[in-house]
């Protein structure tokens, strides 16, 4: 799918995927999960064409959730924001190191980590030096 792009975001306040799962269950029950953001993605059509939100935990991408919808929500301050509506299924991914950043970023399909096989709940991140070296030669 050439017309698809993902989002990537730090999972602030969570140290592991289980923290995200617990927070979303307590906040949204069985309904779809959401991430509300101030900025509306300009590439929304590409995101909605099968894109996911990749979550970064303590410097490593470890999971993703498929983006189902982008919708407007009104904040308590009267400002319209973008709700990124997410599938409740959290898919574990290969660990991929990411430096801290603010907000969300676009993530190209070719740059996204692969999903872990079903039933496998984790993969330890490579040592930072090895991850950087693999990145520099285009293998990660």
* pLDDT tens per residue across span 76-128: 899 999 999 999 999 999 999 988 898 899 999 999 999 998 765 555 555 65
Among residues 89, 40, 81, the alpha carbon closest in space to that of 63 is found at 89
Assessment of whether the complete model's pTM goes beyond 0.75:
yes
| Cα gap 134→20, rounded to integer Å | 28
Tokens of 54: 């990749």
pLDDT attached to residue 42: 95
| Cα gap 69→82, rounded to integer Å | 10
Distance linking the first and last C-alpha atoms of the chain: 21
User: For the chain, what's the residue count?
Assistant: 140
DSSP code, position 113: P
CB contact at 8 A, 94 and 17: no
pLDDT attached to residue 125: 53
Taking only the tens place, the pLDDT of each residue in 27-69 is: 998 888 999 999 999 999 999 999 999 999 999 999 999 999 9
């Amino acid at each position: 799918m050439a017309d698809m792009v993902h989002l990537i975001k730090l999972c602030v306040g969570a140290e592991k995927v289980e923290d995200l799962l617990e927070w979303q269950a307590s906040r949204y029950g069985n309904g779809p999960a959401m991430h509300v953001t101030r900025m509306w993605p300009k590439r929304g059509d590409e995101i909605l064409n099968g894109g996911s939100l990749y979550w970064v935990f303590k410097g490593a991408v470890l999971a993703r959730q498929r983006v189902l919808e982008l919708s407007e929500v009104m904040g308590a301050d009267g400002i319209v924001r973008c709700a990124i509506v997410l599938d409740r299924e959290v898919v574990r991914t290969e660990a991929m190191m990411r430096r801290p950043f603010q907000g969300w970023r676009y993530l190209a399909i070719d740059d996204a980590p692969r999903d872990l096989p079903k039933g496998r709940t984790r993969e330890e991140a490579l040592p930072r030096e090895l991850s950087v070296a693999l990145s520099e030669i285009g293998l990660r």
